[in-house]
């Protein structure tokens, strides 16, 4: 199950939290969710307030640029040229009110001109798992929020370059949130990803007809995977950035979950509904929906218990879990994935 369908942050799933923080700023009828077929039924079950026709099915994942383009076609069909907010489904936001204020300022900025606004997050460490945005000159101030030109966008850097970004200053983590008029989004795709745009036009001509599914399938089969960040934002000359100061995390690893979780006096974070006993255990994360987990005399561990597997690793090494996945795949042990 993808992380946005799991309740690893609270009693609610991450996608449930994502949708609830948007309401009433954005009514449910205006929220579209792009997903794969295998997760559609679960999303419909978890989000009954979202109309089923707003669950847009991708036949296969092709990264974020095709995903955003497909969503833009549906928004354009319903509202002509309204503002479109692109939000990842799996982010943690601590301060909902501050988040919505930032979104409102970005939306107002988008209405004022042909710009794509992204939200940058103040970096706290030289993370190599995030893209970085270099801030340029002040463009305007909206609702008390400063909006800056984007000087450059750098994809996930090596650790030494990430340290240089922090030392230099003026860099933000790329949140993956984008705001712009639908026409601006589609024009950007036309300019920088013309092959994708050609396919989107093919889908647009079939949208709302019995040819729609076959058109989407046909276009996606020949579409190369590309992120919106790399395919559009790194090249665009109309990109703006607004700083997001609302307690953000993309929950991209078990380490990140430890960072945002409530901890006991020894620094241990326990999620799930299982029972935890710590004796001389410090600064560890335990996820156990069912079983008792006891840690004795250990520090900086991550312990994740599921029905058929147990993960134990050092905090700081959880990004390497992907290597375990590769090993299981190479040994034909996919039943555990």
Measure the CA–CA gap between 221 and 193, rounded to whole angstroms: 16
Give the global pTM. 0.89
User: Residue written as tokens 């058929």?
Assistant: 308
Which residues of the chain are under the pLDDT cut of 50?
none
Q: Tokens at residue 334, please?
A: 């996919």
Question: Is residue 191 within 8 Å of residue 234, measured between CB atoms?
Answer: no
pLDDT digits (tens, 9 = 90+) for 216-243: 999 999 999 999 999 999 999 999 999 9
Q: Classify strands 171-181 and 132-142 as parallel, antiparallel or unpaired.
A: antiparallel
Closest C-alpha among 27, 21, 28, 31 to residue 96: 21
pLDDT digits (tens, 9 = 90+) for 3-30: 898 888 888 999 999 999 999 899 999 9
Measure the CA–CA gap between 19 and 51, rounded to whole angstroms: 13
End-to-end CA distance of the chain: 9
Q: Tokens at residue 139, please?
A: 């463009």
Measure the CA–CA gap between 151 and 310, rounded to whole angstroms: 45
Model pLDDT, residue 273: 64
Model pLDDT, residue 282: 97
Model pLDDT, residue 274: 67
Model pLDDT, residue 142: 97
Measure the CA–CA gap between 255 and 95, rounded to whole angstroms: 21
DSSP β-bridge partners for residue 171: 134
Show the domains of the chain with their CATH numbers: 3-249 (3.90.550.10), 254-336 (no CATH)
């Amino acid at each position: 199950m993808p992380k946005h369908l799991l309740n690893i942050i609270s009693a609610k799933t991450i996608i449930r939290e994502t949708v609830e923080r948007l309401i009433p700023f954005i009514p449910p009828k205006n929220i579209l969710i792009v997903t794969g077929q295998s997760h559609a039924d679960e999303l419909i079950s978890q989000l009954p307030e979202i109309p089923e026709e707003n669950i847009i099915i991708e036949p296969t994942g092709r990264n974020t640029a095709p995903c955003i383009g497909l969503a833009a076609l549906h928004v354009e069909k319903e509202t002509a040229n309204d503002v479109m907010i692109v939000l990842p489904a799996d982010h943690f936001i601590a301060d909902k009110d501050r988040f919505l204020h930032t979104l409102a300022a970005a939306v107002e900025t988008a209405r004022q001109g042909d710009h794509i606004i992204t939200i940058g997050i103040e970096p706290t460490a030289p993370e190599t798992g995030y893209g970085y945005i270099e801030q340029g000159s002040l463009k305007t101030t909206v609702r008390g929020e400063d909006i800056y030109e984007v000087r450059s966008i750098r994809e996930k850097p090596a650790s030494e370059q990430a340290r240089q970004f922090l030392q230099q200053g003026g860099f933000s983590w790329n949140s993956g949130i984008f705001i712009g008029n639908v026409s601006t989004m589609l024009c950007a795709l036309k300019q920088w990803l013309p092959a994708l745009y050609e396919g989107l036009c093919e889908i647009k001509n079939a949208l709302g007809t019995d040819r729609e599914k076959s058109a989407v399938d046909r276009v996606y089969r020949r579409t190369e995977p590309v992120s919106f960040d790399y395919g559009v934002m790194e090249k665009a000359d109309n990109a703006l950035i607004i700083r997001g100061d609302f307690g953000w995390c993309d929950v991209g690893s078990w380490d990140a979950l430890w960072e945002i979780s409530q901890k006991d006096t020894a620094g241990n974070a326990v999620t799930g509904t299982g029972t935890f006993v710590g004796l001389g255990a410090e600064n560890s994360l335990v996820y156990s929906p069912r079983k008792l987990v006891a840690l004795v005399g250990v520090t900086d561990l991550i312990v994740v218990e599921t029905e058929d597997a147990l993960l134990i690793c050092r905090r700081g090494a959880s990004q390497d879990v992907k290597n375990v996945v590769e090993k299981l795949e190479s040994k034909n042990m996919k039943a555990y994935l």
